[in-house]
Homo-oligomer: A and B are copies of this chain.
């Protein structure tokens, strides 16, 4: 298991190559549809090597999923708890942050959501997402703004939906509007500015 001697950077090590290949294939096809041979081929290595490094398909998947979730959550806590920014500014920051992230990892959300549904237990306990959100400055500001007229959870759903849904539905949207990936990305770029405006309007309407 030691790879201490061979001269190689952390990024080009065989282990890392396999992990990256696994991330790519798992994200694209989901756990059930990916064969370990696909990952091996994508990584340019032998099948046995994959098991040598990661014991099993499941272990490798858990690792990839963990890192995907971290990637998805990383940086959000800081935005949510910034004391200097207004609610609208936070929404703007969230939109920018996630749209940039998702432009580079468009099928991350569908992958995560699919696999959570396929195996809810695996995530149940994971991370204090609930706490992080509910105790955040963001949520307090949101509660203050909605003034009990509407459950603030609606707006959490709305904001996440406005940001994430186009990426989840992009295969369908590309067909409907038959736009290229570039045009789609341009649309998403516009949304960075529009989403805060829209959410503001929604909040005032309630």
A: which residues have CB within 8 A of B?
29-33, 107, 110, 113-114, 116-118, 120, 123-124, 129-130, 133, 150-151, 153-154, 156-158, 160-162, 164-166, 168-169, 171-173, 175-178, 187, 190-191, 194, 197-198, 200-202, 204-206
Chain A at the B interface: SS class? helix
Contact: B171 with A117, CB < 8 Å? yes
15 extra interchain contacts, Cβ-Cβ under 8 A, other than A32-B32, A164-B169?
Answer: A30-B114, A31-B33, A32-B33, A110-B113, A110-B117, A113-B169, A113-B172, A116-B172, A120-B175, A153-B177, A154-B187, A161-B162, A161-B169, A201-B201, A201-B205
User: Using Cβ atoms and an 8 Å threshold, which residues of chain B touch A129?
Assistant: 175-176
User: In this complex, what residue of B is CB-closest to A205?
Assistant: B201
Contact: B150 with A194, CB < 8 Å? yes
Give Cα distance in the complex from A156 to B165, angstroms: 11
